[in-house]
Structure 1
Amino acid sequence: MTPVNAAKEAVGTPYQLELMKHAQRMTWEAVERIAQGIHPGMRESQARELGQQVLVELGMQRIWHPTHIRFGSNTLKTFKQRSDGDPVLGDNDIFFIDMGVVWQGHEGDAGTTFVSGNDPQMAACAAAARTLFDEVQAQWRGQGVSGVELYHFAAERARQLGWKLNMDIKGHRVSDFPHAIYRAGDLGDFDGQPGAGLWILEIQIAHPELAYGAFHEDLLA
Structure 2
Amino acid sequence: MDKTTVHAAERVGPAFSTDGMLLARRKTRQAIHDIASRVTPGMVEEEAVTMAKQVLIDSGMALSWHPTRVRFGRNTIKPMKRKSEPGVMLQENDIFFIDIAPRVNAWEGDGGASFIVGEHPDYSRCAADAERLFHDAREVWSSQNLTGQALYAYAESTARKMGWELNLDLPGHRISDFPHAAIHAGALADLDVPPSAMRWILEIHLCDPQRRFGAFHEDMLLDDEHYN
The TM tier, using the shorter chain, reads over 0.9
Deviations 1:188-212 (A, max 9, x none): 0111110111100000011123500
Query: Are 2:130 and 1:129 equivalent residues in the alignment?
Result: yes
Structure 2 segments unaligned to the other structure (5+ residues): 223-228
Letter in 1 for 2:121: P
Q: Secondary structure at the match of 1:201?
A: strand
* Residue of structure 2 equivalent to 1:92: 93
Correspondence list, 1:11-22, <5 A: 11-22=12-23
Change (3 A) 1:16 1:5: closer
Q: Aligned-residue CA RMSD in angstroms? A: 1.4
Q: Secondary structure at the match of 2:68?
A: strand
Structure 1 segments unaligned to the other structure (5+ residues): none
Q: How far, CA to CA, are the matches of 1:183 and 1:176 in structure 2?
A: 12
The answer on whether the counterparts of 2:77 and 2:211 sit within 8 Å (CA) in structure 1 is no
* Residue of structure 2 equivalent to 1:9: 10
The answer on whether the counterparts of 1:155 and 1:165 sit within 8 Å (CA) in structure 2 is yes
* Residue of structure 2 equivalent to 1:78: 79
Q: Secondary structure at the match of 1:64?
A: coil
* Residue of structure 2 equivalent to 1:169: 170
* Residue of structure 2 equivalent to 1:197: 198
The answer on whether the counterparts of 1:5 and 1:192 sit within 8 Å (CA) in structure 2 is no
- Return the structure number with greater strand share: 1
Letter in 2 for 1:95: F
**Number of aligned positions between the proteins:** 220
Q: How far, CA to CA, are the matches of 1:37 and 1:105 in structure 2?
A: 28
Correspondence list, 1:1-221, <5 A: 1=1, 6-209=7-210, 211-221=212-222
Q: How far, CA to CA, are the matches of 2:186 and 2:31 in structure 1?
A: 27
Deviations 1:98-130 (A, max 9, x none): 000111211000001001111111111100100
Q: How far, CA to CA, are the matches of 1:210 and 1:119 in structure 2?
A: 16
Q: How far, CA to CA, are the matches of 2:62 and 2:72 in structure 1?
A: 27
Deviations 1:42-79 (A, max 9, x none): 00110011101111111113421110111111111122
